[in-house]
Amino acid sequence: MNLPLLSDRSARINDAVMRHHANATVQLAADGPAWAAAYDVALPEASPFADAATVPQHTVSMWLQGIGDLAEGGEIILTTGHWPIGQRCRVSTPVVPDSSGWAVFAVVPLPPVQPVEL
């Protein structure tokens, strides 16, 4: 199998997976294009202070083909069922794609933060 054919098939598979599992969109600018993403929010399990104070952890998983400059410290607009009008967030962990181009990274909502129900 030649490399361009394999690359094309990989792109088609990644697109199909994202269409099926996406529950959010990510934008780099308010007037820019939106990319499909999988969003999750959870309370940290290993926190020694879970009984007193916990901060939800927001995680985004997405295929990075064509998204451009997305890196730790950058800002995105995350639109989800929790944030239907979009929430500005800062990428708080490195954005390192695996061999197929997928990356999982954490984000922190920027003020003003709209409430999230867990």
pLDDT at 20: 61
Task: Note whether residue 116 is domain-resident.
Answer: no
Widest distance between CA atoms in the chain: 57
Could you tell me the mean pLDDT of each successive run of 10 residues in the chain, 118 residues long?
59 60 92 94 72 79 89 96 93 94 94 73
Q: Does some domain include residue 17? A: yes
Tally the domains of the chain.
1
pLDDT of 56: 84
**Three-class SS of residue 13?**
helix
Q: How many Cβ atoms from other residues are within 10 Å of residue 24's Cβ?
A: 20
CB-based contacts of 8: which residues, under 8 Å, 6+ apart? none
User: Residue 7: its pLDDT value, please?
Assistant: 60
CATH number, domain with residue 37 = 2.40.10
Which of 54, 24, 51, 43 lies closest to 118, judged by CA?
A: 43
The pLDDT assigned to 39 comes to: 96
pLDDT of 45 reads 72
Q: Confirm whether 68 is domain-assigned.
A: yes
Flag whether 118 is in a domain.
no
Task: Give 27's contacts (C-beta < 8 A, 6+ positions apart).
Answer: 33, 34, 35, 76, 77, 79, 86
- Distance CA(47)–CA(32), nearest Å, equals 37
